Amino acid sequence: MSPKPTYEELEQKINELEKEAAQRKQIENALRKTEERLSQITEDFCSVPTFIINENFFITHWNRSCENITGILAKEVVGTRKQWKAFYSEERPVMADLIVNEASEEEMARFYGDKCQKSALIEGAYEAEDFFPNMGESGRWLFFTANPLRDHDGKIIGAIETLQDITDRKQAEKALEECAGKYRSLTETVVDVIYTLDSKGMFTYLSPAFERITGYAVEDFIGRSFTEIITPEYIDSTVEIFKRGLSGEPTPAYDVEFKHKDRGSLPVELHASTLLNADGTPTGRIGIARDITDRKRAEDKIKESLREKEVLLQEMHHRVKNNMQIISSLLNLQSEYIKDKESLEMFNESRNRIFSMASVHEKLYQSGDLTKIDFDGYIKSLSRNLLLTYSIKRRVIKMKTNCSDIFLDINNAVPCGLIINELISNSLKHAFPEDREGEITVDFHPDGDNRLILAVSDNGVGFAEDVDINNVKTLGLHLVRALVTQLKGTLEIKNDCGTAFKITFAP
């Protein structure tokens, strides 16, 4: 049994307690003044919603911004620690209940996770966000930041917390997520490959179709250059198009070949446009890669079919030309038995007409393009044949041709050839009597108005003055007029210093 304290010891103990009480009161007064100053600062100078809790979780200050954002007045929450019940629905446990009931850290963690454990609430800084369904018409999202308050000895005596309404941000994030979900669904549904590249040409996105058409996994190519999927012969041209696209130049669709994991390569068609940031600076490319294997096969079949038809058409022109040459040869043989000069001339004229038509088919047979004829070479060949037919020496009559690079299809080439044949024949027969020397000129040029002008002229004697050249009834000129009508053209005849025929038509 311990001895009773002496009077002096009791008096000393009382003095110590009084001194300790005075110190505690002094600390409390200092703390109160600090809280008052802090409250005044948060009230008068801080527009951010701010409140203060003490170490027992009682709210000691709730500024006007908190009232504005929550709709709860300071007098309703200051001095309490159940402030959140007004925000949460009745079915959901709230932090205040957990705090009041001295819930364990594990219980609070099950509700809030790592973002707001009981110990973190006052023992360290933390950030958290949560949705309060009872706040406002449809609930609000709030973002919390908390920092501990300490006394002069560093002891935690509470926390100062701020609130931020992030409802608009959350709604925007939700809308963006929904949009992204629709975009993902779209890209995953489309059979073509959708891809994006950064400014260095590295893949930043590849839709699932990439694996289907190439055999490579998408993740194997994210972050790699697009040149690694393209076959070597297409790399340079594709890089050039990529650079042009980044510079802002529009680029049309183009064909390349992608490497395939199992079968070498496959043809694809690329469509791409430039990605721009907010200030218009190019940041990369977005595009579609379409597998065109089936299209290429169809094109190859069409090309093969066209080649077969070209061979058949070429053979047809060859046979038509041979048949006409046979007819020409028969007429030539028959003419050897004709003694009448006029009849012989008619045979020769018919033979020349057949030759002009046969030459058209021969030129088509020899041409790489079976749809049109280089008319310059045709006119020279035709004029040489006529000079031989009429046994004209070149030193007596000169033949001059001036023909632009004109190509005609068979529908225009045959009538033009017959017209040239008739007009040159007419000049050779009538323009230079008694071995008179002269010149026949054939001009064939576009007029700049989507029309062609064919002119055949000579410097011979021309028509007699008493002859109406517009009403001459000879077979040759009658045939010329009929052929000009077939071409839907016009015919002009001049009789100055020889004879000139000018035919104008639209090919």
Is 233 found in the same domain as 222?
yes
Residues 376, 506, single domain; the answer is yes
**One domain for residues 242 and 280:** yes
Same-domain status, 139 and 234: no
Residue 125: CA count within 13 A, CB half-sphere: 3
Give a yes or no: residue 130 inside a domain. yes
Let me know: does 51 contact 62? Beta carbons within 8 Å: yes
CA 103/CA 126 separation, integer angstroms: 19
- Residue 379 and residue 483 in one domain: yes
Identify the pLDDT of residue 313: 66
Q: Which of 291, 314, 331 is the last residue of a domain?
A: 291
Tell me the pTM.
0.43
Is 28 a member of any domain? no
Supply the CATH number for residue 119's domain: 3.30.450.20
Domain-embedded: residue 400 = yes
Q: What is residue 100's predicted lDDT score, i.e. its pLDDT?
A: 42
**Residue 505, domain member (yes or no):** yes
Among 490, 496, 383, CA closest to 447: 490
Nearest-angstrom CA–CA distance, 139 and 323: 95
Total number of domains in the chain:
4
CA distance 21 to 44: 34
Residue 173 in any domain: the answer is: no
pLDDT of residue 223: 93
Per-residue pLDDT of the chain (507 residues; tens, 9 = 90+): 556 667 676 667 777 776 777 777 776 666 666 666 655 655 554 568 888 887 777 788 888 888 888 778 888 888 876 555 555 555 455 444 544 444 455 554 554 444 443 444 445 567 778 787 777 777 888 888 888 877 777 777 778 888 888 888 888 888 888 777 776 666 666 788 989 999 999 999 998 889 989 999 999 999 999 999 999 999 999 999 999 999 888 888 999 999 999 888 999 999 999 988 888 888 999 999 999 988 888 888 888 877 767 666 666 766 776 777 777 777 777 777 777 777 777 777 777 777 777 776 676 556 656 567 777 877 888 788 777 777 766 668 888 888 888 888 878 888 888 888 888 888 888 888 877 888 989 999 998 788 999 999 998 888 766 555 566 667 778 888 888 989 999 998 888 888 899 999 998
Residue range(s) defining the domain that contains residue 351:
294-371
Both 196 and 284 in one domain: the answer is yes
38 part of a folded domain = no
Q: What is the pLDDT of residue 10?
A: 66
Pair (429, 490) in one structural domain:
yes
Given a contact cutoff of 8 angstroms between Cβ atoms, the answer to whether 269 and 254 are in contact is: yes
Query: What confidence score (pLDDT) does residue 119 get?
Result: 43
Is residue 197 domain-shared with residue 272, that is, in the same domain? yes
Plot region of 405 (φ>0 → left; ψ -120 to 50 → alpha; else → beta): beta
* Residues 234 and 285 grouped into a single domain: yes
Which of these three, 371, 400, 418, is where a domain ends?
Answer: 371
> What 3 state SS string does 142-186 have?
EEEEEEEEECCCCCEEEEEEEEEECHHHHHHHHHHHHHHHHHHHH
Q: What 3-state class would DSSP assign to 119? A: helix
Q: What CATH number corresponds to the domain at position 484?
A: 3.30.565.10
Same domain? 145 vs 232 = no
Sequence-distant (6+) residues with CB within 8 A of 496 are 462
The verdict on 89 and 100 lying in the same domain is yes
Please give the C-alpha separations between residue 113 and each of 105, 116, 118, 123, 383, in angstroms, as whole numbers. 10, 7, 11, 17, 101
- Residue 453: the pLDDT is 92
Instruction: Give kind and range of the element (H or E) at residue 382.
Output: helix 375-389
Domain end call among 371, 395, 420 = 371
Residue at 338 is within a domain = yes
Q: Contact at 8 Å (CB) between 52 and 38?
A: yes
Structure tokens at 51: 């409140």
Cβ 489 vs Cβ 496: under 8 Å? no
Same domain for 299 and 287?
A: no
Is residue 62 one of the residues assigned to a domain? yes
Token representation of residue 408: 């005609």
